[in-house]
Amino acid sequence: MDLGDKTIGVAVSDELGITAQPLKTIRRKEITADLNALQDLIREYQAECLVVGLPMNMNGSLGPAARKAMNMVEKLEGFNIPVITQDERLTTVMVERMMIQGDVRRERRKKVINQVAAALILQGYLDRRAREHQDEI
């Protein structure tokens, strides 16, 4: 997930946990509605864990945005499913640049940027998990 003040970008992985795909952007309303929308997706996609982007400062410290994300992580932990944070520094900036280079129109970028950022966050987690698994072999 890419947690923003106005939207939540959501991505899912394939069944093997190799690749991440953008899924949807949830327009934030109030916390109960946001959590209900996420709970519905967890059920629909039979999620085994949640990966939440943690917007850390460039020096690695936790700023206001990261503290907001951690507050949401605490709420998500009530779903009784593992919740993992993934460093997401500059993810949205990278996605924006890629979309501009790909000549994606501004209106389209605004609609999908958070879900594409969520896919990048999830892919980072999947890649890290694969590397850790390789190290164990």
Structure tokens at 78: 């009530």
CATH number, span 2-136: 3.30.420.140
Residue 30 confidence (pLDDT) above 80:
yes
Residue 40 or residue 64, greater confidence: 40
CA atoms within 13 A on the CB side of 32: 0
Percent of the chain residues topping a pLDDT of 70: 99
Structure tokens at 120: 């990048």
pLDDT of res. 39: 97
Residue 107 or residue 8, greater confidence: 8
Sign, CA dihedral 30-25-113-123, equals positive
H-state helical runs in 14-136: 31-45, 64-76, 91-101, 106-136
CA distances to 10, 53, 84, 125, 130 from 17, in Å: 15, 17, 15, 10, 9
Residue 137 confidence (pLDDT) above 70:
no
pLDDT of res. 104: 84
Cβ atoms of 47 and 81 within 8 Å: the answer is: yes
pLDDT, one tens digit per residue, over 56-113 is 888 888 888 899 999 999 999 999 999 999 988 778 778 888 888 888 888 887 888 8
CA distance 100 to 54: 24
